[in-house]
Amino acid sequence: MEERRRQREREAQREDEERNRAGMTWTPIQRDQRCFRYGTRRYWAKLENIPRGFNHIRECRIMKASINGRMVTPTYCDDKGGVVVGTWEIDFGEGDCAPIWSNIWQKDCTAPGSGLRVLEAKLQNVHSDDDALVMCKSTPLDLRGEHYEGPMSCANWGGWQMFGYWNIRDDECW
């Protein structure tokens, strides 16, 4: 009997919380102009109408929003002096955050007998608002059946001349 009463109390409390949460809303979600990294953009919004007594950060972490057609919870939440801001790092539906490698050149072997050759490629389709170095470091390359998450190093040769460098296996370098 006592257990049943406690269960009813828990259900009533849960229902009260759900009714209170029903009034919480995100302000219109803002989209960053720049890409955060390859295939990823940040979005942010403020959480409003949080009921008194609720943990603001906890509520932010569980409150979903629709971004690019999916319901998602924030990547992280911040309390900025009583204003709770949710930030999403969205890595789907961000095709304009996908630069490509072009003009792939095979350079010299890294050293005699190393079995490695330097590969150089130019990064294309980076937008002026984007951090070209971040985009370079995070842009993958698929070449000869191998997948590389990003280059070993990047170099900016002036303006928007960003290049990536890889050391790739090459039997001709033995």
Domain range annotation of the chain: 2-90, 99-173
Please say whether the beta carbons of 84 and 50 come within 8 A. yes
Nearest Cα residue to 35 out of 76, 89, 73, 83: 89
What is the pLDDT, as a whole number, of residue 120?
98
| Residue 18 scores a pLDDT above 80 | no
Per-residue pLDDT tens for 104-155?
A: 999 999 999 999 999 999 999 999 899 999 999 999 999 989 999 999 999 9
What is the pLDDT, as a whole number, of residue 4?
85
pLDDT band (50, 70, 90) for residue 89? very high
Distance CA 174, CA 163 (A): 26
Per-residue pLDDT tens for 43-82?
A: 999 999 998 888 999 999 999 999 999 999 999 999 999 8
| Residue 165 scores a pLDDT above 90 | yes
What is the pLDDT, as a whole number, of residue 88?
99
Higher pLDDT, 103 or 53: 103
Please say whether the beta carbons of 97 and 39 come within 8 A. yes
User: Across the chain, which distance is largest between two alpha carbons, in Å?
Assistant: 82
Whether this prediction's pTM lies above 0.75 is answered by: yes
What is the pLDDT, as a whole number, of residue 12?
61
pLDDT band (50, 70, 90) for residue 15? low
Nearest Cα residue to 35 out of 131, 155, 150: 131
Please say whether the beta carbons of 166 and 151 come within 8 A. yes
Distance CA 170, CA 112 (A): 12
Q: How many residues does the chain have?
A: 174
What is the pLDDT, as a whole number, of residue 13?
75
Nearest Cα residue to 118 out of 152, 156, 146, 80: 152
DSSP for 115-126 reads -EEEEEEEEE--
What is the pLDDT, as a whole number, of residue 108?
96
